Structure 1
Amino acid sequence: MKTIGFLGFGEASYNIAGGLREEGFEAIHAYDAAWETPPAAAMIAERAAETAVTLHPSAEALVAAVDIVICSISANAAVPVARQVAPFLRHGQLYVDLNSAGPDTKVQVEKLMPEGVIFVDVAVMGTVPGNRHKVPMLASGPGAAAFAELGNSLGMKITALDGPTGKASASKMFRSIFMKGYVMLLLEAVIAGRSFGIEEDVLSSIGQSLKTDDFRRTASDLMCRAIIHAERREHEMDEVVATLRSLGLDATMSIAGKEKLAWCSAQGLRDYFGGKPPADFQQIFAALR
């Protein structure tokens, strides 16, 4: 039976560990740098006791005790922590970087791995609390297939991608362009709506416009129409920005939308497609080349 060690025992590690325990997997270890620092120490100890996870007093002790090291910390610490633990890693171990970092960071971490240590770039593609160990994950890099095989045998939902380190994390980063931007767009829209007491109406209208049984088709249609009508929509966004400013409201997302529409117009996409929306968004790539 393989042993798993979490390097960092925050919310993600705690939830994944708890889910694995429910599947009957018991060989779970953890180390967290704050294990002796109040008030985090009490929470770490409580979480470890609840999930029956064996806590270790150092990163070196954790690495020595497990076959698979799963690093789940802040993205800005991914490289320094990998550099710290690299001397303790041994031939045949899997080093799984679960951090929400970009592909360049994951490549930097991989380069720090000693010879014989197998690196896995993992991107968590959903919310861990609630989903726990079953949160969808993408894996790439040399150890992707091995990690997916083990994890999926324990009830996890890991998709191994063909390709080098960075492919999984790139997918997450590019997804975040939409997911993070989408939420901020909603916030900007409802705050503006509140000024006229129509925030619920605005939200309802958006919901009706985005209701679909085929998201890909809807997304493709939206993008294909947008590139054709970009110039007209840019002028409409001028009015949106002016309205927000007249109300003394922040217009960050609206200004960004206007600028992206201006970018579309500058690419000459309307002329390229003869004023008619392409049949599928994949055709846009050829036009941009």
Structure 2
Amino acid sequence: MTTQRVGIVGYGEVGRIFAAGLKNAGVGWVGVWDLKFDDPRQRGELHSVAAAQGVHVCASTAELCAQATLVISAVTASSTLAVAFEAAADIQPEAFFLDLNSASPGTKQQAAELVDAAGGRYVEAGVMTSVPPHGLRVPMLLGGAHASELAEQLLAWGMDVKVASERIGVASATKMCRSVMIKGLEALVLESYATARHYGVEDAMIAMLQETFPGIDWQQQGSYFFSRVAQHGQRRAQEMREAAQTVREAGFEPVMASAIADKHDWMAGKARAGAFVDLPDKPDWRAYADRMHVLDKPNT
């Protein structure tokens, strides 16, 4: 089936990037829907962005599914099942459903059951690195019985996809295990760097890291990690709770994954409280660290 009508549920950072990329790739119709469209405080800006991209703003998930031959779910991890449930009610027969969300294998399997039972064709995707530097060409692993067929269309649009397995859960397990490492490194850098900054030993500490791992620019990497977690800490925390569920589904206690989620959530709380609002463009990691309370004071 030729897929030329694409609906994207979720118009955040990833949704916007994919919408623009698909239009540039020549997709004839791209529609978007996001819960924020119902918020008068955010609706105007989002509609303006959609108009500039030349994408159609849908009034609901139902309207989007009624028109799309490919539905892309690009929401937060905690909304993975909710979107699959809503889409299943209105998805066209034989339409593809591409699930980009960072969810556990078990969650993806439940979502697949909902979509497939409704006559759609569910394909899971494991997005293997941060989307912004790569855009539509972000490396992705696909999974499911319909992954190979959809991959042909996605490759024709210039996307970087590989089929991991015909079984749902393989691509997401790969993604989640990677996330434990990458998001864990982010959490470690936040805690280590901010603590070093407090004691005035950051230069010596980073010099030791540079000597041990010379292939990484630890100053630049630190600034990137601080900025990404400050901006997307809540989303990353939700992803790590799904990573913890992935560990749990494997029969292990997710001690590390749960702690990583807590650290990202903590950083997100600082951002919501306005700790970083007036920082300059592309600040050094020290600017973030100077705004953080590394050790929470106990209640007295």
Distance in 1, Cα, partners of 2:6 & 2:210: 42
The equivalent of 2:47 in structure 1 is 45
Structure 2 residue 203 is matched with structure 1 residue 200: yes
Structure 2 residue 14 is matched with structure 1 residue 15: no
User: Which protein has greater RCO, CA pairs closer than 8 Å, 6+ apart?
Assistant: 2
1:1-289 paired onto structure 2 within 5 Å: 2-113=4-115, 114-212=117-215
One-letter amino acid of the structure 1 residue matched with residue 206 of structure 2: L
Deviations 1:188-218 (A, max 9, x none): 22233224422022123212312359xxxxx
Pairwise CA distance, 1:250: 5.3
Deviations 1:212-248 (A, max 9, x none): 59xxxxxxxxxxxxxxxxxxxxxxxxxxxxxxxxxx9
1:139–1:168 CA contact under 8 A, matched in 2: yes
Deviations 1:74-102 (A, max 9, x none): 22122122222212123211011111111
Give 3-state SS (helix, strand or coil) of 2:31's partner: strand
Give 3-state SS (helix, strand or coil) of 1:5's partner: strand
Check 1:199–1:97 CA distance in 2 against 1; reply closer, same or farther (3 A cut): same
Distance in 1, Cα, partners of 2:6 & 2:201: 51
1:16–1:128 CA contact under 8 A, matched in 2: no
Distance in 1, Cα, partners of 2:49 & 2:201: 44
Pairwise CA distance, 1:143: 2.0
One-letter amino acid of the structure 2 residue matched with residue 87 of structure 1: A
RMSD: 2.2
- How many pairs are equivalent? 217
Pairwise CA distance, 1:68: 0.4
One-letter amino acid of the structure 1 residue matched with residue 171 of structure 2: A
2:7–2:70 CA contact under 8 A, matched in 1: yes
* Structure 1 unaligned residues grouped into runs of 5+: 214-247, 252-289
Pairwise CA distance, 1:40: 2.1
Distance in 1, Cα, partners of 2:113 & 2:67: 23
Distance in 2, Cα, partners of 1:207 & 1:27: 48
Give 3-state SS (helix, strand or coil) of 1:39's partner: helix
Check 1:33–1:205 CA distance in 2 against 1; reply closer, same or farther (3 A cut): same
Pairwise CA distance, 1:12: 0.5
One-letter amino acid of the structure 2 residue matched with residue 33 of structure 1: L
* Structure 2 unaligned residues grouped into runs of 5+: 217-292
Larger radius of gyration: 1
TM-score when scaled to structure 2?
A: 0.67
One-letter amino acid of the structure 2 residue matched with residue 144 of structure 1: A
Deviations 1:20-57 (A, max 9, x none): 22233332111223223122212320221121111111
One-letter amino acid of the structure 1 residue matched with residue 18 of structure 2: I
Check 1:49–1:130 CA distance in 2 against 1; reply closer, same or farther (3 A cut): farther
Check 1:52–1:205 CA distance in 2 against 1; reply closer, same or farther (3 A cut): same
Select between 13-22 and 169-178 the one with higher mean Cα deviation.
13-22
Check 1:43–1:189 CA distance in 2 against 1; reply closer, same or farther (3 A cut): same
One-letter amino acid of the structure 2 residue matched with residue 51 of structure 1: Q
